[in-house]
């Protein structure tokens, strides 16, 4: 008598505890990766998938694990408000039409996230990125992002950027209307995330250690969270002030 | 009235010449005389010269007088009596029954005048007596007609009455004034001490003003002397009201309730302990207006049986409740693009105070790091959904399932918040509506849609297919959906807007709700298209449901980028304004020239009507009512809007107190009703005070040289200015110049002078 009852209960509990579905794959947060001519637009092919998995496990974000690779002129680019640009060498100039499209993408709220796997400053990839940003917004320059920026606390509390290498902690960015529309890191975050099909890390981190790899993942999570929540974390400090400003009840 | 008549005579000149002719004649005569005087120098003896000079002078004098036509005027003259003005105060305060008698102040004044007949007769021997009543204006009323006069004036304008008296009588004729009043004055003589210009004005009358003070300062009265309240207040912000209560003539301590009412409904009550030795009290109220608009409030103290005046126990005031900033609580179950674009839009609006809380990690999320290395904060559920809930204008629940966060206990608060005037929007997602566990909860009861039981399988609660919203007829007219630039553009816009990705499945519309946009394929339980965007009015609040989580695609679109982005921004801004019941979204408005007017003075107001796309509604029939709030008797009339979508009207209130203007019209087939208030105030503060006060009367009498008395059975003996003006009864002129001997004298004298000069050889 006990066993059937137990089974029924377990079935019921299972039914009640089932996870609700999303509004399909289209409603998930998916990272798009920019495809460009020349150079190597995908030096760490397995990295974003791994990051998406980590974000899904660590946060409440409904992440799509697979990324979408798109060209700048692809109409679908506007379905993905976060666009990852990877590379480890110089790439070709974008056409004027592509520049215009990317400019519109950023102006309307899209965020471009540039992750250099070049392992050095002043390389071909960086040169290409600087050329790209100067064409996108000629009057703006890449600026260093201070450690008090929301980017450093959008989920984890972080200091300088640490990826596969820890020698390039500086984060550069282009700011539009008070938000970071393009974030550029040179520490090869993707290099720290990439795993092969057997679950082995594809690249060693320098100087090394699990902590460094963990910090690289935290940076990935923070970047995704910033793209989704912008300055939400900075807002929290204003809440007591806002709540006190209105005397809505007689105490 | 008696007069003094007497006769007198005097010399006058009747010559009709202009002054310059007279001057010319005098100059010629003087020249001729001077010429003659100098011509004898050295030729004649002094006696002769003097004689000739005198002869010439007398002759010329006779000629000049003939030219000037002298006459002797006889007349009969009567000395005209000057005026004594009896000014009796006929303001409302004179109707108060005080003192030992059972008669009002006004009745006692009239009786005093009635018993003073012999004294008045004695004054009539040398004065003319005119009787007036005064209040808002000065009116001549015979002493016999005075008996039937009521004391009903809304003001006691002593200065205005004296000024009118001076104009009517003329300062020269005024022999004196007898001013009978209780001393409760309004206007410029209302202050305890007269100003320098007022003193000069009284002196300029040049007549004594004797004042008779009627009434006493011992009666019992409670009055709300003053209500200190701002004319404007911010919605959901505490408003302070300070009430000054005056209690005079109290014999023993008592406890009085002081009530603050909003259009008849008691908002707050205070107990006021009053004592005989204290007359002035201050009571403070605080309340929180919940909705934008114009509201009538009143402060009242119950009237007691032996009070002098009952009308001063209540005082009304209007409060225009406006919105400073819109406080929005955005609660989101997980970060998403939909949340990101909506939050950014709200954050960019300078009129919005946004407090957002997102669930960044769930209990199921991996916690690989210590909390100290994360920037996560606890979700302050009690603060947001209980202690501070009422401070928000709008709550947006976006893809948020309340279950894991122990918010179930607060859901009744949210329902009550909406019912009492709050706004609620639920935005779709896999954690929203039925999927969020809201079926059967208090929140489900206030949504515009009916939910499906959440025991159904997930695929029955969510549709993953992309779809393009279909605008409903109701949506086409609704303020929220005015996201294009005109009707045609709106249809075209919805045909091209980027499709939405998936939707929560719903059972259908809730009773009284409106579907603004529907799913093109999915059906509700009743077979109608399933609502995707719906709205509902719940008691005083409003709710809205958007069962998709991808409107952000409108904002982030490469197609017609500016147009779709504007549509997205308009949609959510319209939604916020509709949910908070922003008056700016109304299709019908009442614009009042002034919200505070004096009784009897006309004021203008305008109805302004709009079509659903906010263009002037030309030729719209508007039904309207204007009348005293709670007074009844307001009749309904209609008016048609002009080419500007406006209709102009004028109203003259005959009663005091708050008046309500209501306008109703049908816009796009739906009834719209708006209203506003106008406070009609008395012309003066006559109804405020009850206790007679002699201060101002004493000052007037002192300055004018008159005397001040307290009321008695009869008027006292008084002195006035003696009459100075004379009236000529008849007149007769005896012309001296027309006598023959006058001319003969001149001829003879000139002839003698000529003869003498000839004789002496001076010719």
Domains assigned to chain A = 22-245 (3.40.50.12140)
Contact of A237 with chain B, judged by CB distance below 8 Å, is answered with: no
Tell me if B509 is assigned to some domain.
yes
Contact of A156 with chain B, judged by CB distance below 8 Å, is answered with: yes
Residue B610, SS3 per DSSP: strand
Chain B (277-296) residues lying within 8 Å, Cβ to Cβ, of chain A: 286-288
Q: Are B517 and B469 contacting, i.e. CB atoms less than 8 angstroms apart?
A: yes
Residue of B nearest to A152 (CA): B375
pLDDT over threshold 50, residue B590: yes
Which among B622, B508, B493, B617 is positioned nearest to B567, based on CA atoms?
B493
* B317 and B336 fall within a common domain: no
Within 13 Å and on the Cβ side, how many CA atoms surround A9?
A: 6
Contacts of B336 in chain A (CB under 8 A): 27, 29, 61-62, 228
Predicted pLDDT of residue B170: 65
Predicted pLDDT of residue A1: 40
B640 membership: H or E segment, kind and range: strand B636-640
Name which of A113-117, B58-62, B501-505 the model is least confident about.
Answer: B58-62
Q: Would you state the structure tokens that stand for residue B577, as one six-digit string?
A: 């304004």
Exposed, middle or buried: residue B419 (CB in 10 Å: 0-12, 13-18, 19+)?
Answer: middle
Highest mean pLDDT among A53-57, B77-81, B97-101: A53-57
Q: Domain containing B400 — which CATH number?
A: 3.40.50.880
Name which of A164-168, B283-287, B468-472, B750-754 the model is least confident about.
Answer: B750-754
* B504 and B386 fall within a common domain: yes
Tell me if B378 is assigned to some domain.
yes
Predicted pLDDT of residue B736: 72
Cα Rg, chain B, nearest whole Å: 45
Number of domains within chain B: 5
Compute CA B56 distance to the chain's CA centroid, rounded to the nearest angstrom.
Answer: 83
Quick: pLDDT tens for A22-44: 677 778 899 999 999 999 999 99
Tell me if B2 is assigned to some domain.
no
Give B3's pLDDT tier (boundaries 50, 70, 90). low
Mean pLDDT of B446-474: 91
Strands of B70-79's sheet, edge to edge?
A: B4-13, B70-79, B726-735
Q: Domain containing B284 — which CATH number?
A: 2.60.40.10
Contacts of A245 in chain B (CB under 8 A): 353
* B132 and B26 fall within a common domain: no
d(CA A124, CA A131): 10
d(CA B230, CA B226): 13
pLDDT over threshold 50, residue A10: no
Q: B516-549: buried (b, 16+ CB within 10 Å) or exposed (e) per residue?
A: bbbbeebebeeeebbbbbbbbebeebbbbbbbbb
Residue of A nearest to B291 (CA): A248
Q: Please give, rounded to a whole number of angstroms, the shortest distance from the CA of A141 to a CA of chain B.
A: 24
Contacts of A83 in chain B (CB under 8 A): none
* B653 and B705 fall within a common domain: no
Q: Domain containing B623 — which CATH number?
A: 2.60.40.150
pLDDT over threshold 50, residue B549: yes
* B426 and B363 fall within a common domain: yes
Contact of A247 with chain B, judged by CB distance below 8 Å, is answered with: yes
* Average confidence score pLDDT of chain B: 89
* B544 and B510 fall within a common domain: yes
* B443 and B559 fall within a common domain: yes
Is B509 or B683 the better-scoring residue by pLDDT?
B509
Tell me if B577 is assigned to some domain.
yes
d(CA B388, CA B384): 5
Name which of A21, A22, A155 is nearest B360 (Cβ-Cβ).
Answer: A155
Q: Do A248 and B368 touch (CB under 8 A)?
A: no
Predicted pLDDT of residue B763: 67
Residue of A nearest to B370 (CA): A156
Phi, psi of B675 (to 5 degrees): -150, 160
Q: Domain containing B190 — which CATH number?
A: 3.40.50.410
Residue B198, SS3 per DSSP: helix
Residue partners of B409: CB distance under 8 A and separation at least 6: none
Tell me if B203 is assigned to some domain.
yes
End residue of a domain, out of B255, B287, B322 = B322
Contact of B370 with chain A, judged by CB distance below 8 Å, is answered with: no
Compute CA B734 distance to the chain's CA centroid, rounded to the nearest angstrom.
Answer: 69
Mean pLDDT of A185-198: 93
End residue of a domain, out of B581, B601, B616 = B581
- Polymer length of chain A: 251
pLDDT over threshold 90, residue B1: no
Q: Are B404 and B334 contacting, i.e. CB atoms less than 8 angstroms apart?
A: no
pLDDT over threshold 80, residue B527: yes
Query: With pLDDT > 90 as the criterion, what percentage of chain B qualifies?
Result: 57
* B717 and B593 fall within a common domain: no
Task: Say what the pTM is.
Answer: 0.75
Predicted pLDDT of residue A7: 43
* B431 and B560 fall within a common domain: yes
Chain A (17-46) residues lying within 8 Å, Cβ to Cβ, of chain B: 18, 20-24, 26-27, 29
Tell me if B1 is assigned to some domain.
no
Q: Which of A23, A71, A244 to mutate to test the interface with B (most CBs of B within 10 A)?
A: A23
* B296 and B382 fall within a common domain: no
DSSP-H helix ranges across B558-646: 561-579
Domain that holds residue B633: 585-681
Q: Please give, rounded to a whole number of angstroms, the shortest distance from the CA of B337 to a CA of chain A.
A: 6
Which among B752, B737, B548 is positioned nearest to B14, based on CA atoms?
B737
* B232 and B138 fall within a common domain: no
* B24 and B146 fall within a common domain: no
Predicted pLDDT of residue A3: 46
Mind giving me the DSSP string for B13-74? E-----HHHHHHHHHHHHHHHHHHHHHTTTTS-HHHHHHHHHHHHHHHHHHHHHHH-EEEEE
Q: Which of A246, A247, A250 to mutate to test the interface with B (most CBs of B within 10 A)?
A: A246
Query: With pLDDT > 70 as the criterion, what percentage of chain B qualifies?
Result: 97
d(CA B427, CA B572): 11
A9 membership: H or E segment, kind and range: helix A2-16
DSSP-H helix ranges across chain A: 2-16, 47-58, 96-107, 124-136, 189-193, 210-229, 232-235, 239-245
Contact of A81 with chain B, judged by CB distance below 8 Å, is answered with: yes
């Amino acid at each position: 008598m006990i066993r059937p009852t137990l089974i029924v209960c377990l079935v019921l509990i299972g039914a009640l505890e089932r996870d609700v579905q999303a509004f399909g794959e289209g409603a998930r947060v998916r990272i798009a990766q920019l495809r460009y001519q020349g150079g190597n637009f995908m030096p760490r092919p397995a990295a974003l998938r791994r990051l998406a998995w980590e974000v899904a496990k660590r946060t409440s974000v409904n992440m799509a694990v697979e990324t979408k690779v798109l060209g700048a002129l692809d109409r679908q680019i506007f379905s993905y408000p976060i666009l990852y640009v990877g590379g480890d060498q110089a790439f070709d100039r974008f056409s004027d039409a592509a520049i215009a499209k990317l400019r519109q993408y950023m102006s309307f709220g899209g965020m471009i996230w540039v992750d250099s796997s070049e392992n050095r400053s002043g390389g071909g990839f960086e040169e290409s990125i600087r050329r790209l940003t100067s064409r996108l917004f000629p009057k703006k320059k890449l600026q260093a992002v201070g450690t008090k920026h929301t980017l450093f606390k959008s989920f984890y509390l972080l200091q300088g950027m640490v990826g596969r290498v820890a020698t390039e902690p500086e984060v550069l960015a282009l700011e539009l209307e008070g938000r970071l529309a393009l974030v550029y890191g040179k520490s090869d975050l993707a290099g720290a995330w990439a795993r092969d099909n057997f679950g082995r890390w594809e690249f060693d981190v320098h100087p090394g250690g699990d902590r460094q790899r963990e910090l690289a993942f935290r940076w990935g999570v923070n970047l995704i969270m910033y793209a989704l929540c912008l300055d939400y974390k900075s807002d929290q400090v204003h809440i007591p002030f806002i709540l006190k400003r209105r005397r809505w009840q007689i105490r | 009235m008696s007069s003094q008549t007497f006769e007198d005579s005097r010399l006058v000149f009747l010559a009709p010449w202009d002054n310059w002719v007279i001057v010319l004649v005098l100059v010629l005569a003087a020249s001729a005389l001077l010429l003659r005087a100098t011509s004898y120098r050295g030729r004649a003896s002094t006696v002769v010269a003097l004689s000739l000079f005198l002869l010439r002078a007398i002759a010329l004098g006779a000629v000049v007088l003939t030219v000037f036509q002298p006459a002797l005027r006889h007349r009969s003259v009567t000395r005209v009596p000057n005026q004594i003005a009896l000014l009796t105060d006929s303001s409302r305060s004179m109707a108060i029954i005080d003192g030992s008698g059972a008669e009002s102040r006004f009745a006692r004044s009239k009786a005093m005048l009635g018993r003073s007949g012999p004294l008045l007769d004695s004054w009539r021997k040398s004065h003319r007596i005119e009787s007036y009543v005064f209040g808002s204006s000065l009116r001549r009323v015979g002493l016999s007609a005075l008996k039937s006069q009521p004391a009903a004036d809304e003001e006691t304008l002593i200065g205005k009455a004296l000024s009118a008296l001076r104009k009517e009588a003329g300062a020269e004729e005024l022999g004196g004034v007898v001013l009978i009043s209780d001393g409760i004055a309004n206007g410029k003589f209302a202050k305890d001490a007269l100003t320098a210009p007022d003193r000069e004005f009284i002196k300029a009358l040049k007549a004594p003003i004797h004042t008779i003070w009627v009434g006493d300062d011992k009666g019992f009265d409670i009055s709300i002397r003053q209500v200190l309240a701002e004319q404007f207040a911010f919605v959901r912000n505490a408003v302070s009201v300070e009430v000054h209560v005056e209690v005079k003539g109290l014999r023993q301590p008592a406890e009085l309730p002081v009530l603050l009412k909003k259009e008849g409904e008691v908002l707050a009550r205070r107990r006021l302990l009053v004592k005989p030795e204290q007359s002035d009290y201050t009571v403070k109220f605080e309340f929180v207006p919940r909705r934008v608009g114009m509201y009538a409030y009143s402060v009242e103290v119950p009237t007691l049986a032996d009070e002098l005046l009952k009308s001063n126990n209540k005082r009304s005031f209007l409060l225009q409740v406006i919105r400073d900033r819109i406080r929005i609580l955005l609660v989101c179950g997980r970060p998403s693009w939909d949340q990101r674009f909506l939050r950014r839009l709200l954050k960019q609006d300078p009129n919005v105070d946004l407090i957002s809380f997102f669930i960044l990690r769930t209990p199921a999320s991996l916690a690989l790091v210590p909390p100290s290395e994360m920037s996560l904060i606890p979700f302050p559920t009690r603060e947001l959904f209980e202690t501070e809930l009422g401070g928000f204008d709008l709550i947006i629940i976006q893809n948020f399932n309340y279950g894991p966060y122990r918010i179930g206990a607060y859901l009744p608060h949210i329902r009550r918040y909406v019912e009492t005037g709050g706004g609620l929007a639920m935005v779709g997602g896999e954690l929203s509506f039925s999927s969020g566990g809201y079926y059967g909860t208090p929140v489900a009861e206030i949504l515009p849609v009916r939910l499906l039981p959440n025991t159904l399988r997930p695929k029955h609660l969510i549709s993953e297919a992309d779809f393009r919203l279909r605008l409903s007829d109701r949506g086409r007219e609704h303020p929220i959906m005015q996201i294009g630039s005109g009707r045609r553009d709106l249809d075209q816009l919805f045909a091209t807007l980027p499709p939405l990705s998936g939707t929560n499945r719903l059972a259908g519309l809730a009773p009284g709700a409106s579907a603004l946009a529907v799913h093109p394929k999915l059906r509700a339980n009743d077979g109608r298209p399933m609502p995707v965007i719906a709205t509902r009015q719940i008691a005083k609040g409003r709710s809205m449901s958007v069962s998709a989580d991808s409107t952000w695609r409108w904002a982030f679109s490469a197609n017609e980028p500016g147009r779709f982005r504007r549509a997205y921004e308009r949609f959510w801004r319209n939604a916020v304004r509709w949910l908070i019941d922003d008056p700016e979204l109304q299709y019908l408005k009442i614009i009042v020239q002034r919200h505070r007017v004096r009784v009897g003075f006309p004021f203008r107001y305008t109805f302004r009507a709009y079509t659903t796309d906010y263009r002037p509604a030309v030729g719209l029939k508007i039904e309207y009512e204007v009348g005293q709030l709670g007074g009844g008797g307001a009749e309904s009339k209609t008016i048609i809007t002009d080419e500007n979508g406006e209709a102009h009207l004028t109203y003259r209130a005959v009663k005091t107190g708050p008046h309500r203007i209501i306008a109703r019209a049908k816009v796009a087939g739906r009834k719209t009703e708006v209203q506003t208030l106008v406070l009609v105030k008395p012309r003066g503060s006559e109804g405020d005070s009850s206790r007679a006060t002699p201060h101002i009367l004493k000052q007037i009498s002192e300055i004018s040289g008159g005397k001040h008395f307290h009321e008695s059975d009869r008027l006292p003996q008084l002195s006035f200015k003696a009459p100075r003006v004379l009236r000529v009864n008849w007149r007769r002129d005896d012309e001296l110049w027309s006598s023959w001997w006058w001319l003969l004298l001149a001829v003879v004298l000139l002839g003698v002078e000529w003869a003498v000069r000839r004789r002496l050889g001076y010719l």
